[in-house]
């Protein structure tokens, strides 16, 4: 679903690739151009560059079982390095415009639940084990088979749900939607801005940037989303220079009217030497002897389920956005995509930055026209540069980047029309898939609810043969996933 016409004004001829590079990445064959790929790669990077700052803050804020913390500068450098290398690997091997980086949610699980019960090296060792297990599932063909067992309309619902998920991420990150302070005493858990009003400069920057981006998209301006991000960033820099808004926390105290994460200031220095001391700091065996076999097993299972299905959902959503799915809802080179994702998970653990996984923010690049792995080469190279240019990587604030997430969410939402809402057997599972992703802030939760409900409905209707055998196993695994709290309480 590209929003811009081809660069030269005429469609490329798929039958005549321009050169070997074009042939290898299938640029012309997928109806793209080098210009689109570069723009897409830039848009993806700017939309997800926040991870270079946010992942170190999450991982670095927690202490392990021995009371030790990881150094934030080293975490930032390793986060950028692994994101750059795995994104490029996805581009070359998967040839799919899906960038990789440390997974949000998974990094919090590692930081706040796993590491406090062991050492950091032990916790990262479990991440490595999880990545290796997923790689084995890919190489044996099981992961691809599970993916293909999901009904096509349920895959469509996954893409739509992720679109809504992206939208709420953008609205929350920009501070446009916030928790109501006394949510426990009201039926309204979230509200608009501060006290139901737009009363801060960062929120105004987001609103102006979103409106500008919408106008550009509607007018079919080439590079609309990227222009929107850059224009919003320039406005944010000017606003900060004039109003001196500051960060959302000042000296440990909340500043509700501040910038969510990055303060948009021109950096005093541009180049910084990366600290790569955390590479290889993992241990795959000690956790099993330190806390027993059951705790690591449950953690590995949780990590595996989360990574396994998050990536499946993400690649469906991106493929759907770019019109790259076949009649079964499968993107090209699905096995290679899933294999690189599993390697990225293990690589993240080996570098002490948590599991690396696919980023749904890549949809911003696809909306700019990216259709091949060339966009990943651009995004990955920028991540590698971010190791040395960390001060520049944090200039773009959430309030500027989030405009892209909201617009992309709309573009992905349009696929909802292809679901048959008159057939309750698929409509109800699709509805739960779509709604639970944004409302629980989890792709896996949405997929799990959809799969379990779909299987249950087919059994209740006396149609067990309409369910792929593998989907029964997936439903059981998701049931265990949702019940892991009571199971842990019963056996630990």
Model confidence over 279-292: pLDDT tens digits?
Answer: 999 999 888 888 77
User: Which residues are CB-contacts of 433 (< 8 A; sequence separation ≥ 6)?
Assistant: 154, 157, 158, 161, 446, 447, 449, 450
Window from 83-97, 121-135, 142-156 with minimum mean pLDDT: 142-156
Q: Coil, helix or strand for 142?
A: helix
Q: Are strands 253-254 and 356-358 parallel, antiparallel or unpaired?
A: unpaired
Q: How far is the CA of 89 from the CAs of 94, 138, 341, 347, in angstroms?
A: 7, 16, 9, 12
State residue 14's pLDDT score: 59
Mean of all residue pLDDT scores within the chain: 87
Q: If pLDDT is split at 50, 70 and 90, which confidence band does 11 have?
A: low
Distance from C-alpha of 307 to C-alpha of 342, rounded to nearest angstrom? 8
State residue 10's pLDDT score: 53
Q: If pLDDT is split at 50, 70 and 90, which confidence band does 49 have?
A: confident
Distance from C-alpha of 57 to C-alpha of 61, rounded to nearest angstrom? 6
**Mean pLDDT in residue range 391-413:** 83
More confident residue, 400 or 306: 400
On the CB side of 198, how many CA atoms lie within 13 Å of its CA?
11
State residue 5's pLDDT score: 42
User: Which residues are CB-contacts of 224 (< 8 A; sequence separation ≥ 6)?
Assistant: 3, 4, 213, 216, 217, 368
State residue 147's pLDDT score: 82
pLDDT digits (tens, 9 = 90+) for 330-357: 899 999 999 999 999 999 999 999 999 9
Distance from C-alpha of 137 to C-alpha of 126, rounded to nearest angstrom? 17
Residue with tokens 């099981």: 142
Q: How far is the CA of 301 from the CAs of 7, 41, 129, in angstroms?
A: 46, 33, 10
Q: If pLDDT is split at 50, 70 and 90, which confidence band does 186 have?
A: low
Proportion of the chain above pLDDT 70, given as a percent: 94
Distance from C-alpha of 24 to C-alpha of 17, rounded to nearest angstrom? 9
Distance from C-alpha of 365 to C-alpha of 407, rounded to nearest angstrom? 12
Q: If pLDDT is split at 50, 70 and 90, which confidence band does 16 have?
A: low
More confident residue, 396 or 157: 157
- As given in the structure block, the two tokens for residue 200 are 């801060």
7 has a pLDDT exceeding 70: no
State residue 379's pLDDT score: 97
Query: Considering all CA atoms of the chain, what is the largest pairwise distance in Å, rounded to the nearest integer?
Result: 68
State residue 435's pLDDT score: 96
């Amino acid at each position: 679903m590209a929003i811009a016409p081809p660069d030269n004004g005429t469609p490329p001829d798929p039958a005549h690739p321009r050169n070997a590079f074009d042939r290898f990445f299938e640029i012309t064959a997928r109806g793209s151009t080098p210009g689109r790929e570069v723009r897409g790669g830039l848009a993806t990077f700017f939309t997800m560059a926040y991870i270079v700052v946010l992942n170190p803050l999450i991982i670095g804020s927690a202490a392990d079982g021995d009371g030790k913390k990881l150094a934030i500068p080293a975490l930032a450098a390793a986060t950028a390095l692994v994101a750059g290398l795995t994104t490029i690997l996805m581009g070359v091997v998967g040839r799919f415009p899906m960038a990789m980086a440390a997974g949000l949610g998974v990094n919090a699980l590692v930081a706040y639940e796993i590491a406090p019960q062991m050492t950091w090296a032990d916790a990262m060792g479990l991440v490595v084990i999880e990545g290796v297990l997923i790689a084995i599932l890919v190489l044996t063909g099981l992961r691809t088979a599970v993916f293909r067992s999901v009904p096509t309309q349920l895959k469509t619902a996954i893409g739509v749900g992720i679109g809504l998920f992206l939208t709420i991420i953008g609205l929350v990150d920009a501070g446009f939607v916030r928790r109501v302070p006394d949510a426990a005493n009201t039926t309204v858990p979230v509200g608009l801005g501060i006290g139901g009003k737009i009363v801060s400069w960062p929120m105004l920057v987001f609103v102006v940037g979103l409106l500008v981006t919408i106008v550009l998209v509607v007018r079919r301006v080439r590079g609309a989303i990227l222009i929107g991000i850059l224009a919003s960033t320039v406005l944010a820099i000017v606003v900060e220079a004039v109003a001196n808004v500051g960060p959302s926390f000042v000296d440990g105290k909340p500043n509700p009217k501040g910038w969510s994460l990055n303060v948009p200031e021109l950096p005093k220095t541009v180049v910084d030497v990366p600290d790569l001391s955390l590479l290889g700091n993992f241990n795959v065996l000690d956790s099993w002897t330190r806390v027993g076999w059951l705790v690591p097993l449950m953690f590995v299972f949780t990590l595996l389920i989360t990574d396994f299905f998050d990536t499946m959902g993400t690649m469906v959503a991106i493929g759907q956005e770019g019109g790259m799915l076949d009649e079964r809802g499968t993107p090209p080179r699905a096995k290679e995509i899933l294999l690189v994702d599993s390697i990225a998970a293990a690589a993240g653990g080996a570098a002490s930055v948590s599991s690396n996984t696919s980023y749904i923010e890549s949809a911003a690049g696809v909306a700019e026209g990216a259709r091949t792995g060339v966009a990943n080469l651009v995004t990955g190279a920028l991540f590698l540069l971010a190791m040395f240019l960390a001060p520049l990587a944090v200039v773009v604030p959430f309030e500027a980047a989030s405009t892209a997430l909201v617009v992309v969410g709309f573009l992905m939402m349009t696929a909802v029309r292809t679901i048959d809402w008159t057939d309750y057997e698929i409509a109800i599972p699709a509805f739960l898939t779509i709604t639970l992703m944004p409302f629980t802030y989890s792709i896996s939760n949405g997929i799990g609810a959809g799969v379990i409900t779909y299987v249950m409905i087919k059994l209740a209707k006396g149609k067990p043969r309409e369910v792929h055998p593998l989907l029964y196993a997936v439903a059981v695994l998701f049931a265990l996933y949702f019940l892991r709290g009571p199971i842990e309480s019963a056996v630990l």
